[in-house]
Structure 1
Amino acid sequence: MTQQEEVQLWELDSGKRSGEPLDADELYKLSPTEILFGADLTLAVMYGCSSNLCRNSTPGIQLWDIETRQRQLLPVSAKAANLAFSTSGDMLAASAPDGSVHVWNVATRKLLATLRVPFPGEPSGLAFSPDGTMLALGQEDDGRILVWDVDRSRRSSPTNIPFSGDLYPEDIAFGPGDVVASGDGDGRVQLWDARSGRPRGTLKSGGVPIVSLAYGPDGTLATASGNGNLSLWDIERRQQDGLATSSGSRGGPDLMFDRKGALVSIGSDIRSWDVSRWGQIGEEIYHHQAAVTALAINSDGLLASGDERGVIRLWDLGSGQPSGPPLSGDRSGITALAFGSAGVLGSGDQGGTVRLWDTATGRETRRPLEGHDGAVASLSFSSDGASLAAGYRPGPNDPDWQRGRPIRVWDAASGAVIERPKIGFEGGVASVAFSPIGRFASAGADYLASWDTEIWDSQIIPQHYPRGGPYSAVAFSPDGKTLASSAIRFTPGDNRTVILWAMPSGAGRAEQLGEPLEAGRTRTNDGSFGALAFSPNGDLLAGAGKGGVQLWDVPSHEPIGERLGSFPASSIAVSPDGSQVIVGDSAGVVQAYPATIDDWLRSACALVSRNLSQRERDSYLGSEAPDQTACPEYG
């Protein structure tokens, strides 16, 4: 609304005005007091009379057709407030001064029902259930929420949800599963069963008053506090998603979700938020047009990323710019990348082809290496770049996949196969890795093994059954003395999928180093990691999987905070200077996260523009972080 009390429409994507203001001259001196978008380009605007000059105009709810700019006054709406559209947009509800609620048919503009209130009081919020069958009303007087079955409203009384003491619902929101969320003046966010009125849990137990709530199309709950901070909540886990973020408003803004699932805050300004990456510390580097499926970084800071459409992009981390045009791999999709020496990049694809690229020219250095059917699951160069290993797994169209010896090792210069390591078990390969001290490791569906590359004799690493697989990833520390492995667990909630192994220097056996590493909880049942990477100094281990990204402090074997990211992550690498963890995810984003506590802290403080709470420090920096990891610039 402008200072002239007009209604102006805006394009959220561009931030530009969408046409001229709605014709306020026909509604002389009426003030728009509440605005709400419905479906099919319908806009409901509540107009009130704030001056004696408006006595010739009729206050009430005007329904506007945005395309035609035509409007119609709803009957019995002169002093209504607290507007609410049903999700389908076919009904509009508004509370009346006596506490009752009117419901209109949007298409016909006719009054459908008047819901009588057994406890008259000042309304504080109004919301339809997602399926439009129930309607909830928040009341300030006596503090309560009333919930009606819309179809049976004339024959039954509403469910009464009373609040204790002097508290009342500042705002309410109706979510999936017949759950009503409420926020109150003590800063509590509570969940209620809409049919029985029983409590269903508390998301936030206190703090700054909650003034606005909104449910997104995926069931995510957004809340706004009186200090202008916005938070997202995972209802199933009863946990906050990411850090609370400043809305930029001087007070608590109103919240709504648009049709695309973006969160819109309306306060001292209007802002649109991409909730898919809500509160993330990381910074997007660039974006693919398809899911990122592989990453690799060389010692010069050249980053390569491949996607499921077969495109490989090169990026100079130092300059922050692309390094030449994209490389065109196999259209079946890139599945693996690895850097060799002298700027050579190896790529593997769904079709089982391994290609070698000159990253300076963008051209292939030789004919493709084809040594096995199926898809290339993983690639690794030896430390001197002389040898290249590939592990294979069944492809999407390989019912007769050859199971025998699905690992090939080539001479990178001549392309000759120099070894086909024997595994001893059937099944596909998930990951391969060379160490800098003459060992090779591989993980697969039913094995975890290592080889001495002088004689290529295999050694199964877990010596006792059950072996703990299937295994999904392996990675060597920079000195080659430690191997990290991840296994798939089929027990929901078991996130201890990563184990560190002390590797022998000669003919000895690998020994497990302590207990499996703890990881943050994930929304998926698969807590494993499909990619692992050590930092250059070996003190940091990073894992990427369907449940997001996890960082660990290797010396202490402790996780660094919770899992990161909103999308399944397929690939991961650490920058040569150890300052960034680079991640590729299923949304096509290549993102950089800080790799040190100090950098995490600076990013978190800049993101939220305030001090961090103890819970946030524990969650995002780890419980071992020192107390001084507050934001000094915010006191």
Structure 2
Amino acid sequence: MTPNDAVGSGSYEGALRELGEALTELKRQRGVPSYDRLRLRGTKLLGATGASSKATLSSVFAGRQYISLDRLMWLVRTMLSYLDGEEGEAPQRDNPKLEAWRARWYVLDAARTAARRQTAAARPVTPEAFPEPRADVLPEGQAADHVAPPVPPRRPLAASPVSSQSRVTGFVPISDPLRIDAVDASSRRAVQALAISPSGWIAAVGADLLVRLWDPALHPHESVRLGSDDEEVLVVAFSSDDCLRTLSVDGIVRFWDPQLRVQLSSGLAGDSKSPVGGAFSLDGRLLARCDPDGFIWLWDLDIRATVGNRFSDNGAWPPVTALAFSPQGLLASGDGQGGVQLWDSATQAPIGDRLAASIEPSAPVRALAFSPDQQLLASCDAHGLLRLWDLDARTAIANPFPGDDIQGVQAVAFSADGLLVTGDADGLVRLWDQATPQPVPSPSMPLAAHMVLYGMRRGQPTEFRPRLHHGSPVLDIAFSPDGRLLATGESDGVLHLWDPTTRTEVSSFLHHHGPVRTVDFMPDGVIATGDDYGVRFSAQHPHLDRSRYLTGNIGGIYAVALSSDSRLLAVADASRIQLWDASTRLPIGVPLHIPEISPQAVAFSPTGKLLATRGKEGVQLWDPQTGLRRSSLGSRIGQVQAMAFSPDGRLLAAAGEGGVQLWGSTGAWRGGVLVNEGGVRTVAFSPDGRLLAEAGDDGVVVRNPLTRAPLTRFINETGSVQAIAFSPDSSVLAVASGNEVLLVG
């Protein structure tokens, strides 16, 4: 069958799927080597030029992503080097075993070419998979008056409507700066360009025009340099699968694997003129570059040709000096007079009027960056002035950095989860988090409640007495969903129910299987408690009945977590975690085993799509639906003791011996460690997301999770704090210390 025959009988998606199935079968025959082993083995045998990232390999094997012929041959030759699970020699390129794979690729490529000829209207609006970078050199550019053949646009790229809810009003710093120790010939240290990947890698170009790479989650103050001294880089950008792309002053585009720290391929993009600036689209298929004449060119890195004609606003004056793509494909250009213009890159037509700077004299725009939701555009000029533009209102946000003297900004970027990254003239890279409007309290809330909330959020807590006294140390506490009851579990096996308003006991119940280590309320008000035997479900007041245990005799229970939709219950004993259907009380799948970790800790994300567990060297994130591990987050606070997600899911906080460590929703690093020398045993977000409480041997610290700044600290004279819990309305924090529980608001 010829490639054209195959195209006529099947779709591009079908060809992708068939290639993925064939590769999966070959992998099975060769002992199922992991993606990491394949990458390391292939690099050792065949070099790094044909290597693909782990995310790309996963997509290719799943039949969702195209792969170039050179990379396919690299992958197949690497897998063929395994014989009965043992490592051998890779076959040569002319080995007959490879011919069938070449033929399969030609069928795929022909189907892809046919699919690319479809009209733009037939293409989906959703982002496409990240393509494989070409290993061959791109051709020299055509003359300026040459009209390239039209290329169908991949998706509508006009500005999309934005929501007015929870609009960002500014940013606050969240970490100590990273430093680039590089100077240019004039002894300047300015950061020239920035990018941050979905998983948290940070790439920065220093004054020497060389790229530095950080993995802040594991080594926040250690960077590695990529490339040679003659690679003068103008632009850095990450794709959705963490592949790094760079554009140099000589017009060369290079593709890098940040984990292996090796160059994958390179090629010339454009003519011989040195670009002034540039930007990569998120799907990696388009490069926008501005030339010294002040015009914009679009290059399709996949078909290696220009897209349409060069274009600019108002006849290349003022000249274009900076470019940026939004995640949705909108193009922004900055000019030599400090203005910004939005473009539809499919039609190369301007969108709306130019966003003009109101400060005179204005300076040329140095850098641009879109927020992931396309609501904001950050721009910085040659004077180091950073502006935030509200693209819905098409105006600059007034005072977006309240209380912070931010000057000399030379480079700017946004992360996939909304962090702002800036680089300044002193070679410092800083992370900033979004500040959103504070919610207006309900007018129906009593004045006393307003006063309590005001004090709590400003570091002036009020303790409500008397304290709740117990006969033995309190191990866990929880408020009922309506806030009218507080449950406490003792080390001697007694479960108590209290009225938090009157601070009086409602009822108590003695367990017969050891300490009550965990206490949780189910949505229907039933109380789930964990002890040495399993998880018991008990009814509320007036009669606490004895229900059968959920887990049976599998050992002591150390943590229980309920998903936000109340469908899943995660139960952790000393060495494993079992998921249960909360309604049928039946187990789901096989337990998750985390060796060498005892006891365990668990937390569901607000959407229920992630389950965080304690790992050997930090935190592990799991997909509770499939039981597969998604990622591992390295700890810089020692052994993790507890975890909590923020109500909006944007932050994951872990408590440990060294303090509290924060990650973003994608697992990206979210600033430095919140140091607590006394160690932190537990951590909790308030339900409204405006407070973060941490507790341990030195008492309780309540912080603003946005600024990370402590609001208040208090030490309890009865001993170290074992557990904390916020009331559903966020107005009261319950603190279990020794044999007492104190309520503060």
Which structure has the higher relative contact order (CA within 8 Å, separation 6+)? 2
TM-score, scaled relative to structure 1: 0.39
TM-score, scaled relative to structure 2: 0.34
More strand per residue: 1
More helix per residue: 2
